[in-house]
Structure 1
């Protein structure tokens, strides 16, 4: 049975699209200590792929973006074939797909999958751009200084890449850090916007602080671990933690970023469809995907 495509994405030719959506069911970054996302047996793969689940949920209740835009500029390329590949092979294939789209000047939107898609995306960013910042929406910093590449060390490895730096990275919505990750933060010193700052500073000041942390970059890649959002909007995630920003706050922030930077792409990870009985997490992800894909670039406003 073939995978569904997002009906909202009505561009019929990939090369004519301004944004390209693809799924990448990476599995190899390991699971958190939460039993929520663990397979019944070690090494067993989950039966449902979140990218397909998101598409199906949105297709059941189709809608335009909040600004009434349709998906004429968005192409859904389906899913990358990753079954049976090693973690290294998965990363290489996802990296190549991101890099292909970056080099063609198209906005890449990837639905995962686990944190391997993040390292693949950052590796492609490093190869394609010398002036790209990273906004990393996550409850956790994922910067443990470990040699193995897994969910807790993704940013540590990304910051070792030639053109991905902590000085141009902002950890957005941070609120759960363990002692090992704290050492990584002390070493790398990335920009941080804590979850409480959305309340303490207010959204306009958060946006200003975020732009200051990104520095003088032309481009931004947006990386999303869904547990970065408020858990009442995305309950079906690997490691939920209370107190994150809402989807509407993130969408306002993205619109502000799009006025200044070229948003080159986004990845979304850590969604567990088996836990999404009312499809709230799927619909939140679908809305974020559509709104992000159709954001204008600064050059569109000239």
Structure 2
């Protein structure tokens, strides 16, 4: 027995045979949206417990210095939003130019697939918000620092405008097909945009903040939700769910019809959706053994 034990130790401690290839990936799996919950302090600017009211905390001081520079985050957010707006707007434009070749399903797939690939590719850098409404909702619920909100929104808006003008140059004069304008009454369009953004943020908050959610599939879950929402609301309101999805094409095409709907309704729906999931998710002793969290928060 002792001989076997010594042989086993020798096998473990012996160096690798020269020429043996090393594994391309370490044994520990790293997911693109992996996130350590403890590494993100909670902002005290919106206290929810009586004991915290009046405490000398601010959003500017409670958040530690991030491990990724803000410049890199904004760069990833700009590129990710550019890809999303380019793809989501190009689908309807191509559909108009080539007489319905894309169809509603194709338009929904363009947006949903774009969201999925951007989350999987940049989620670990910036969180892949891609949406001012999402950024505001996460900040309101203390999942994201308010101090970074203006910079994120600026990156998202500028990326949307750049993508829209790129499409205008490529597909002129068919950019009007990519502008989201309501084909129903104002109240109906507002309600639709509110509800589909509520659905989107309910799902995003689940996969981003809850340890029991299947965070590994965050990109697929969110992309599928975007596709579903566009299939439901696309013919009526355009299925925007995102202020910059509407703002960029509106600026490039000069068409601002009912634009306030697409600025206000998604933001209210996002805060409501994120807030409702925060209320219903399991807490404390109700949770099982925690798993690594995959999050849109950075």
TM-score (norm 1): 0.28
Richer in strand (by share): 1
Larger Rg: 2
**TM-score normalized by the length of structure 2:** 0.28
